[in-house]
Amino acid sequence: MEASRRRIEEQNYIMRPAFDELSALFAPSLREEHREADGQPLLVRTFPLQIWSDFFLEIHGTPGGLIWDERFVRADGTPSPRIDAPSQLRAWLMTKDEVEERFGALEEVELWSPYAAYSFNHPAPDGQGEQTHIVTFSRSLLQSAKPVRS
């Protein structure tokens, strides 16, 4: 088991110091800044994506060079789409923060990094009560939005 664990660690960039290595793949960075999460100091590098101008990719690294987080964020000066109802949500349209800003606090359903599923309630289309919706994200970018059938 120990030998298997070592082989997995050697092949899995998330489990070894790879912040600089991954950053080099996307270089040059647009900006670098220091942040803190859960008491952990982090260096955050933000990269523009040539084929995808609406979003930037942020890579968060620990002082030891480990990757703490990777997430998509809205590109500077790019407005978030105007969404009036959950039925308008589409994959790759919004970030988790934008969905939460529009529809209120999201309740955690399942976390399996880099994927996360959340739920929120919104008035039902027929005006009768509320309907629960499940939204799934990968690296904080919306992948799916579905109403829950009661």
Cα(76)–Cα(39) distance, rounded to whole angstroms?
27
124: pLDDT strictly greater than 60: yes
Cα(109)–Cα(120) distance, rounded to whole angstroms?
10
Q: Coil, helix or strand for 149? A: coil
Q: What is the pLDDT of residue 125?
A: 80
149: pLDDT strictly greater than 90: no
Q: What is the pLDDT of residue 10?
A: 66
Question: How many residues are present in the chain?
Answer: 150
- 60-108: per-residue pLDDT in tens? 999 999 899 999 999 999 999 999 999 999 999 999 999 999 999 999 9
Model confidence band, residue 2 (pLDDT cutoffs 50, 70, 90): confident
Sign (positive or negative) of CA dihedral 53, 36, 8, 139: negative
35: pLDDT strictly greater than 80: yes
